[in-house]
Amino acid sequence: MTTAGPLQQLSITAFVIQLQGHSKSIQNSINELANITSSESKGLQANYTTLLKRVQTTITASSSLDPTTLSSQLNNIQSQLTIYDTQRNSILGSYVGGSKNFLSAVLSEFKYFCKLSVYVLGPLFAFIIMTNTFYSEKVIYMIFYGLWGALWYPLTILFAIVNPPKWRALLIPIQPSETPYFFLEFWKYYAITDIATEIEDTAKSKTMVRLISMGLAVTFFYCFFM
């Protein structure tokens, strides 16, 4: 077997982190359904258990899989987990009887929407982070880094907490502000005009990136490790 290079190993590590989070999430869902003895609940618990074994098997075999295969399996697991979580929420919602059950159902629903937010906002914000980090590169390289950043979004978000880039454009900083670029103003970034203003703006922008990254990181760990 060929030894994985540093870039490939980093990719595998990012996938394993997400799979471990899914493993914890699945186990939490099984625990939430444990006191509900309906046939629907028992069937869903069995489905969760099967999916959990699949996740654990994928984690064990991750070192021998290439990132493309691992990514495909992760996406499939996430899709299946979303279906099961929707069924779980329906079961918990119909089971609500007392204040304790009601609180459990509310927390489960809240966690479900947090997961959806992380799945959508995590990769999107990671893409923005990487394109703003490598804004001076050619567009093709910038998009390449952005896609890899989105793929490894948990690690990218942690990176942005430690060393956030300046958020230079609304989306992708492709063109300097003085360069005509049709009507796509949100692709532009502003060149330095005043050093003092630039330092102040950079500090504010980095703080914003760090705070958003911290919020996404907390949401991620709440969803998959709590």
The domains of the chain are located at: 1-95, 121-226
DSSP state of 181: B
The stretches in the chain having pLDDT less than 70 are 1-7, 96-105, 108, 178-186, 190-201, 226
pTM of the model: 0.56
What does each C-alpha distance from 141 to 92, 132, 151, 165, 174 come to in angstroms?
47, 12, 15, 17, 11
Backbone Cα Rg of the chain: 21
pLDDT at 1: 39
Token output for 3: 């030894």
pLDDT at 204: 80
pLDDT at 157: 92
pLDDT at 184: 65
Q: 1-10 long-range contacts, Cβ below 8 Å, gap at least 24?
A: 1/64, 4/63, 8/66, 8/67, 10/152, 10/155
**Predicted confidence (pLDDT) per residue in 21-65, tens digit:** 889 889 988 988 888 888 899 999 999 999 999 999 999 988 888
